[in-house]
Amino acid sequence: MSKVVIIGAGGVGNVVAQKCAQLPEVFGDILLASRTQSKCRAIAAGVKEKTGRDIRTAQVDADNTAELTELLRHEQPFLVINVALPYQDLTIMDACLAAGVHYLDTANYEPLDTARFEYKWQWAYQERFKDAGLTALLGSGFDPGATNVFTAFLAKHYFDEIHYLDIIDVNGGNHGYPFATNFNPEINIREVSAECRHWEDGGFVTTPPMSKKASFECPEGVGSYDIYRMYHEELESLTLNYPALKRAQFWMSFSDNYLKHLEVLENVGMTGIEPVEFNGQAIVPIQFLASLLPDPSTLGPRTRGKTCIGTVVQGLKDGKERIFYCYQIADHEACYAEVQSQAISYTTGVPAMIGAKMMLEGHWLTPGVFNIEQFDPDPFMQDMNQYGLPWKVIELDSFDLA
């Protein structure tokens, strides 16, 4: 019952494989499957070197439900950990239903031809998973993932009602390249160039991308960073699950250099998702651009600095206004020393492993489709402290990024 299939052999797939392999008593048998099997084999060799464990590998095209179903029926794992790309979410969920396997992912479905990610497609699987007695755990990375759990933890232990939520994702790391993305370039650029949406007074408000900027001082000397308001998928589920929220915003740090490159690339059409004709061939500009940029899984040895990701929640406790900030600081070099990945992959892969552990241990196994904040945050928070992502909660006297 402790067999898992990990799908996707990128930066995050490497961390999930390494972290699962560190816990043989929970993850007894691990198969890493991806489109390019040589990448799985390279990760398996790294896992062997670090942990002494053998993990198996396979080639699979996760866009092909029949092919994946066959693999899952043959393997009969307890759970699929999906760390391929958001485009594969639905085909992997279909294969899990066909083969009777639980499901977990770190990013919500996004159609290839529309740069707009929404949960509606995956929430539509609710009845099918429930009827099959299977659990689909959505968004078990860092953001979404740990940030949702932080919100649920603060709401559970520090407040009677929560009113304002600010999720702040600072990456103070430097990889030395003029322009590179810390996770899949195509997904990253689609996300940051999208219109901004934030929740205010009962509905989403749309504003132009990167049009709202603030400065944020991270705790513990991580430094002060420019952060920009943008849309992020956890806002959709958190505002639904915490209906007393009056405002919910997501902020991410970007360097001037990153924004300058992005603006130029957008202006010349290199971030487009529609195919263009070039020398008799159809080329999707953003896919061509992604092929030129450094592979995020190679950034590890060059990245120095820290990430600081957390949630500031304001609300009422015993009739009094309170403000609490729950955050996690990760060090790029320490992550690389442990699993040979930079902190962005690390902070995504560890919560994926912990979410899988929650399911394998039966803490989070209600049949149906669930966003991560719908489960009890306490065992997950305990495991974050134990498995490499220690966090803190502090009270703030005042807070305003609005």
Contact residues toward ligand NDP (CB under 6 A) are 7-13, 34-36, 39, 60-63, 83-86, 88, 106-107, 141-145, 183-184, 187, 296-297, 344, 348
Shortest approach of ligand NDP to residue 184 CB, angstroms?
4
Shortest approach of ligand NDP to residue 307 CB, angstroms?
11
Shortest approach of ligand NDP to residue 106 CB, angstroms?
4
Shortest approach of ligand NDP to residue 321 CB, angstroms?
30
Shortest approach of ligand NDP to residue 225 CB, angstroms?
18
d(CA 126, CA 134): 10
CB closer to ligand NDP, 33 vs 312: 33
Report which of 133, 73, 146 is spatially closest to residue 102, judged by C-alpha positions: 133
Other CB atoms within a 10 A radius of the CB of residue 29 amount to 16
Q: What is the DSSP-derived secondary structure letter of residue 158?
A: T
Burial class (CB in 10 A: 0-12, 13-18, 19+), 401: middle
224 by DSSP, 3-state: which? strand
Shortest approach of ligand NDP to residue 246 CB, angstroms?
25
CB closer to ligand NDP, 12 vs 80: 12
CB closer to ligand NDP, 216 vs 250: 250
213 by DSSP, 3-state: which? strand
Report which of 382, 363, 387 is spatially closest to residue 102, judged by C-alpha positions: 363
Shortest approach of ligand NDP to residue 396 CB, angstroms?
24
CB closer to ligand NDP, 114 vs 224: 114
CB closer to ligand NDP, 95 vs 315: 95
Shortest approach of ligand NDP to residue 103 CB, angstroms?
14
CB closer to ligand NDP, 200 vs 287: 287
d(CA 106, CA 121): 15
User: What separation in angstroms does the CA of 391 have from each of 167, 385, 386?
Assistant: 15, 7, 10
Burial class (CB in 10 A: 0-12, 13-18, 19+), 42: middle
Report which of 188, 178, 192, 210 is spatially closest to residue 290, judged by C-alpha positions: 188
Written as one letter, the residue type at 240 is L
CB closer to ligand NDP, 10 vs 315: 10
Residue closest to ligand NDP (Cβ): 10
Residues in Cβ contact with 283 at an 8 Å cutoff, skipping those fewer than 6 apart: 275, 276, 277
CB closer to ligand NDP, 84 vs 326: 84
